[in-house]
Structure 1
Amino acid sequence: MHVHALAWIVLAGIILTMIAVDIIGHVRTPHEPTLKEATWWSVAYIVIALIFGILVWAVWGPQYGQEYLGGYITEKALSIDNLFVFVIILSSFRVPRKDQQEVLLAGIVIALILRLIFILAGAALIENFSWVFYIFGAWLLWTAINQVREGAGEDEEEDEYRPPSIVRWISKIVPVTDGFVGSRMLYRHGGRTYVTPMLLCVIAVGTADVMFAVDSIPAIYSLTNEAYLVFAANAFSLLGLRQLYFLIDGLLDRIIFLHYGLAAILGFIGFKLINHALHTNELPFINGGQPIVAVPEPNIAFSLGFIVVTILITVAASLAVSRSQRGGEDSAA
Structure 2
Amino acid sequence: MTMSTWNDLEEYQPRVLKLLGNSFEKNRLAHAYLFEGKKGTGKKEVSLLLARSYFCEKPDGHKPCETCRNCKRIHSGNHPDLHLVEPDGLSIKKWQIQSLQEEFTKTGVESHKKLYIISHADKMTANAANSLLKFLEEPNADTMAILLTEQVHQMLNTILSRCQTLTFMPLPVSAIEKELLKQDVPANYARLAARMTNSSEKALELSRDDWFAQARLVVIKLYEVIFKRNGQAFVQVQTQWVPFFAEKEQQDMAFDLLLYVYKDILSIQIGNTDHVIYQDLLPQLEQHAIQVSRQKILEKITSILEAKKRLQMNVSPQLLMEQLVLSLQEG
More helix by share: 1
User: TM-score range, shorter-chain basis?
Assistant: under 0.3
TM-score by length of 1: 0.25
TM-score (norm 2): 0.25
Q: Which has the higher strand share?
A: 2
- Which structure has more RCO (C-alpha within 8 Å, separation ≥ 6)? 1
If you compute each CA radius of gyration, which structure gives the higher value, 1 or 2? 2
